[in-house]
Amino acid sequence: MSKIDKMSILGVRSFGIEDKDKQIISFFTPLTVLVGPNGAGKTDAHETDVRAQIRLLFSDVNGEKVTIQRSMSCTQKAKNYSFKNTFNKLLDGEKVSLSSKCGELDREMISALGVSKPVLNHVIFCHQEDSNWPLSEGKALKDKFDSIFAATKYIKALETMRQLRLKQSQTVKECQVELRYLKQNKEKAQQLRETVATKEAQLMASKDSVQQTESHIEPLENRLMEFDQKLGKVMKLDNDIKALDSRKKQMEEDNKELEETMEQVFQGSDEELQDIYQNHQRTVKEKERRLTDCQKELERAGWECQRLNRVKADLLVEQAFLGFSLILCISQVRSLSSHLEMEGYDRPPFTSLQLESFHRHVTQRLEQEKETLSLQEKEQQKQQSIDEMRDKKTGLERTVELKRDMQGKKQQELRNIRADLQKLEGSSNRLQELENELAKNERELERAVQSSNVEELKTEIEELQREKTELDQAQRRLDQEMQILNTHTTARTQMDMLKKDKTEKEEQVRKTKARHGEDLMLLLGHFPNKRELEDWIYSKSKEINSTRDKLAKLNKDLASSEQNKSHIAAELRKKEQQLSSDEEKFFSVCGSQDLEQDLGRLQEDLEKVSKQRAMLAGATAVYTQFISQLTEEREPCCPVCQRTFPSESDLQEVISDMQSKLRLVPDKLKNTEQDLKRKERKKDEMMALKPVRYADLTEKELPELRNRLQTVNREIERLKAEVEEQETLLGTLMSEEETAKACLQDISLMDRYLLDRKIAQQAAKLQGVDLTRNIQQVSQEKQETQHKLDITSSKMELKRKLIQDQQDQIQILKSAVNETRAEKLQLSSDMQKQQQLEEQCIDFTAEIQALTRDIREAKEQLSPLSAALEKLQQEKQELMEHKRKKQEEGQEKVDQKESELQETNTQLHEAEKQKEKINKEMGNIRQDIDTQKVQERWLQDNLTLRKRVEELKEVVAKRETLMKEMGNMQVLQLRQERRDAERKLEELKKNRSIALGRQKGFEEEILHYRKELREDQYDKAEERYKNKMITMRTTELVIKDLDLYYKALDQTIMRFHSMKMDEINKIIRDLWRNTYRGQDIEYVEIRSDVDENSSAGVKRRVYNYRVVMVKGDTALDMRGRCSAGQKVLASLIIRLALAETFCLNCGILALDEPTTNLDRENIESLAHALVEIIKSRSRQRNFQLLIITHDEDFVELLGRSSYIENFYRIRKNQDQNSEINKCSISSLSSYLH
């Protein structure tokens, strides 16, 4: 068990703050007494709400020594105070520091002492002001007893169990609802898995069929590829032969045309012709190279001309500028001669002699003006230097004057400070006088405050205010009663009529809720009224209608999709039959299936032949016009290039060439027209096959129809699934609507019952009206209440006036004290400034010396500034010389530009001559090159002709070789065999496509069902159903266990409370009978009345406590019926009983002023009872009773026993600090006597 050993106090209230003032108390066993007059600091010895330092040494529940120390520090800052405290816990000499939070210290103390915080605050250590708490008002008493019994924690535990049970019950209901849907999902998932298995079996069968078909297709495809290779080779040979025939014919025609255009064919060998052609090429290249060189020289000459023109333009611009300057100069000459009064210069132009004479006279005049101007400038500069020196001297003199003024001011301040120091020498006597006057005023203020009874008057005013408030409330109640008496004369008749039906209708409401509550909670989540249920049914009906409309629309879409599917399938079959028919037509006409490509090639040939025909048709008119133009003109030129012919023979050669080409045109035109007609006939035949559209059928229409068919199939499956889902939803909604409609009639009746019950409850409120009183009685009572109210108001006004008078007197005395204190503080402050003034005296002396030095230095700075002035004049002379040189350089530049302009004109003229020479040479070279070109064209034609002849021989030989190779192949038999193999292959591919389409449908269905299985509602649906079922069953078991725990804990709390109350009341009865000496009360006890309130269907047990006094068979509440002494005694006994019951690990009990309001007889009996308690508990080694009292007679009564030898006396010393002294109990008797 825990006990306290020692405690030290320092700086708490009246206890001193020095180490020598520290007071130490060693607590005795079993009794420690602290004695002292009021205000000596007895209560501080067991309070820990302090502001300095307290140490407590005690033994914890394990018997170990523990020291708790609370240290506090308060630091004053510029604007506020900083308070800091630290808690230290010392255990077995090891120091542990806690934070400054009081909660941590409280937890440590509770843990160490072994008692709860309420027991520590309300039982063991209870302040004198709160010592009578057992007889306080009901709510406060209940809170304290609940905290002592720890009832709040148990009630919270029960409430937590109840809330947890409700939460688990709600979880079970939610699980039931979820299980219904999870079961549906589980069954639907199982159905989907079975469907997937069926479709996978069908898919495997379809894949086997496709593999068998592909095994027959592959040999046919290989054979068809062999046929295609052979036929492709045949077609290639045929195309090559046709191409060679066409090339051969074209080459023969080209050779013939080339021979006709040539004047004569070279008869020599190929080597001779090649040598002549190469020599001719070298000559032409040499001419062209020379022409290129001339062009480059011409470009260089052009560039040089451009450069010289630019230079000339620049010089002309400068010349124009100089001309303008000349005009300006003439104008200036006339103006200047007029200004200088010089004759002979008023009519330009001027001769050079006139200009030279004018220049000489102006120069002389300018020299004179310059000399005059120079003197003026020097004078101005000299005057400016003098002004600057004067300004600087004035500034220095002003600085000296300012320094002298500052020196005078400092000297005056220094004299003032010395005078202040002389005055302060006699302030000490005045300070003593002010201290005496302040002490006198403070004594008068203290006497006025002590003689003032403001607090008593305020208490009386508060009592009068409460009385006035009660009278006001009574007056208002009477007014309300008057109003009620006037308006409720017929209320009782209505109450009687409504009260009869109240109980019956409430029972009907209860039955209705019990019958339909579960169904409505599942549907709506709460129990609705009629309006809410009707709204829910209406919304559910709208949802049902919407679902029906959606279902009808889905059925309609499903029928439309199935009809569309049959239509697409029929169209697909029709297209496949058309494709089979078109394939044979293409092979018979084109020999291939690519009609568009063959038709495109034929169109290109037609365009070429048409262009050739149009060219030949226009050639006759063109050639005829050219020939007539060449023969009729006097100086004919080429009608194409517009060049003249160098000789008549060249002209005749061109004319004969055109005539020979004109003769060949009719035959060529006839052949071209025949070829054009043949190609147009073939185009018409192919255009007749255009509507067949074989490629469109195979590449576009058939795949599109197949895709549309697959899309429609998927759409049908989706619509079927949605129809099934909507039908399920419609069934659920209709079932819920029927359930709600079945409940609606009873809910309607229940709403009427509830309305009647509200009317009955409203009428029941009228039972509070007292209709036995009449208006005259209430009016008489109102007049009496008003008279009392007026008397009370006048008393309150008188009391307030007395308070104001006393406060005014105290305020006057406080003002006098404050004024004296302020004067004293000001004088003290002035005396403290003495040292500061002395320091300022020293500072001012130093500053005056510094100013003297500054004045001397300023005088030394007044020196001549001639060196700076001379330097400025020299710089001005250099500037003028620089200006003259610039003018001379400008004149030289003008002369130089004139010479450059003349030189540029000369170079430009030479460049133009060179350019003309080069142009003439280039004309001769071009004429030679044109002549050589004609010869070169003749040589090239001969070379081309011989090359074409050799190529023609090669084409003829190659055609004969291909004709032999093609004759060895059996073309007709190959084509027949290919058609048979292709027909078989198409039939097999058609069967394979049908099987693949069916297979793709199966795969899409499987993917759709698997995707649906992967959806959140079907994925792991069985596992979720199983887990949810386990959760619901386990939760139901948890609810049952919570019911058992709730009941067990509730019964345990009841037994514990009953047992403890019996134990406490037995101790109280024994202590009362041994202590109380009166005959009016046999004993007192604590009654705990159980108040079971019903809230939301759950009973909560609440204990209401009261202290009763018993006499015989009669028990009355002590609160308000007992004397002050009985109240004190009963409170002490109850605390002793509670301590004995709840302090099993802590034997400490502190009694603060236990004899307050007790008479002599009860004090003696209390002392006797305490001695008996000490006697019975003395066998416990850690039992400690701590008594704090100012009643030394009570201590003397306790000292008659053998359990107290010493006690502590607390008093104030001469410094008004509390001291604790240990005294013998025997010294108390001599002190009293």
Buried b / exposed e over 44-68, threshold 16 CB at 10 Å, is bbbeeebebbbbbbbbbbeeeebbb
1146 among the known binding-site residues?
A: no
Q: DSSP letter string over 242-286?
A: HHHHHHHHHHHHHHHHHHHHSSS---S-HHHHHHHHHHHHHHHHH
C-beta of residue 150 within 8 angstroms of C-beta of residue 1024: no
Q: Please tell me what DSSP assigns to residue 71.
A: E
> How many Å is the maximal CA-CA distance in the chain?
182
In Å, what is the CA distance from 191 to each residue of 204, 495, 727, 973, 1017?
20, 67, 17, 60, 14
Q: How many CB atoms lie within 10 A of CB 301?
A: 20
Contacts 24+ apart (CB under 8 A), 1011-1018: 1012/192, 1012/721, 1013/189, 1013/192, 1013/193, 1013/196, 1017/185, 1018/185, 1018/188, 1018/189, 1018/192
CA gyration radius for the chain? 68
Q: Please tell me what DSSP assigns to residue 351.
A: -
Q: Any idea of the CA torsion for 396, 399, 405, 409, to the nearest 10 degrees?
A: -150
C-beta of residue 100 within 8 angstroms of C-beta of residue 1121: no
In 3D, which of 47, 46, 53 has the Cα closest to residue 22?
53
CA distance 486 to 363: 135
C-beta of residue 644 within 8 angstroms of C-beta of residue 605: no
CA distance 125 to 117: 10
C-beta of residue 1111 within 8 angstroms of C-beta of residue 1081: yes
Q: What angle do CA 797, 803, 807 make, to 5 degrees?
A: 145
Q: What angle do CA 927, 932, 935 make, to 5 degrees?
A: 140
CA distance 559 to 555: 6
3-state secondary structure at position 67: strand
Q: Is the dihedral of CA 325, 330, 331, 337 positive or negative?
A: positive
CA distance 784 to 969: 149
For residue 380, what are the contacts with CB-CB under 8 A and spacing of at least 6?
A: none
Q: What angle do CA 973, 975, 980 make, to 5 degrees?
A: 100
Q: DSSP letter string over 494-552?
A: HHHHHHHHHHHHHHHHHHHHHHHHHHHHHHHSS---HHHHHHHHHHHHHHHHHHHHHHH
Enter the tokens of residue 1221.
């002294």
In Å, what is the CA distance from 604 to each residue of 140, 250, 590, 599, 971?
116, 18, 17, 9, 28
305 among the known binding-site residues?
A: no
Enter the tokens of residue 618.
């226009």
Q: What angle do CA 586, 231, 593 make, to 5 degrees?
A: 20
| Residue 310, φ and ψ in degrees, nearest 5 | -65, -45
Helix or strand holding residue 569 (H, E): helix 530-589
In 3D, which of 741, 163, 751 has the Cα closest to residue 513?
751
Q: Please report how the helices 1160-1177 and 1021-1075 are oriented relative to each other, as an axis angle in degrees rounded to 10.
A: 120
In 3D, which of 291, 282, 262, 275 has the Cα closest to residue 928?
291
In 3D, which of 474, 399, 560 has the Cα closest to residue 787?
474
Query: Is 122 exposed, middle or buried (CB count within 10 Å of its CB: 0-12, 13-18, 19+)?
Result: buried
Binding residues for Zn(2+): 638, 641
Binding residues: 638, 641
